[in-house]
Structure 1
């Protein structure tokens, strides 16, 4: 697969980039070199390689969900800097 200069112009236009003719030629060459390098992966025999989503073993480190009683509204409101009508009152972040 090869990238043409027209492909580079199209992507640049979508990305709202103003490339000079020299930059378009440079990008075309660089992108084709990247694709050529990536195509080398097709030469590898991966028949015996199991599909993975991560190269290292990853396990969930979160605790098990356990049903337990919730805090009461009074307990929660003790942490409020200010309270108004049973709700936290905080400084406005938008004007």
Structure 2
């Protein structure tokens, strides 16, 4: 796909980005290279290749699921102006 100066100028206008003519010309080249690379990648035959969730074939070590801290809720709620059943009570903000 070929990118032209008008395409870059229109995209800059729609994005409300100020781009000079020199910058737009440079972006035309950069975007053309990027799209050429995407076309090159799209032309690779990937039939029979399973998609990967991760590029490395490694196991992810997970931490043990155990409690490491004690419950401090009562200490934290001791200075609250209003508490009920372990919940902070706040003024209603939605009518």
Asked if Structure 1 and Structure 2 have the same fold, meaning a TM-score greater than 0.5 normalized by the shorter chain, the answer is yes
Unaligned runs of 5+ in 1: 65-70, 90-95
TM-score by length of 2: 0.62
Structure 1 length-normalised TM? 0.62
Detail structure 1 runs of 4+ shifted over 4 Å in the superposition. 57-64
Structure 2 gap ranges (5+): 66-70, 91-95
Two-structure CA RMSD over aligned residues (Å): 3.1
* Structure-2 residue corresponding to 1:77: 74
SS of 1:83's equivalent in the other structure is coil
For residues 30-87 of structure 1, give each alpha carbon's deviation from its aligned partner in whole angstroms, at most 9, with x where no partner exists. Answer: 10011112211123221121123432357694877xxxxxx7xxx6232236221213
Distance 1:62 1:4 in 2: 53
SS class of match (1:17):
coil
Q: Distance in 2 between matches of 1:5 and 1:34?
A: 15
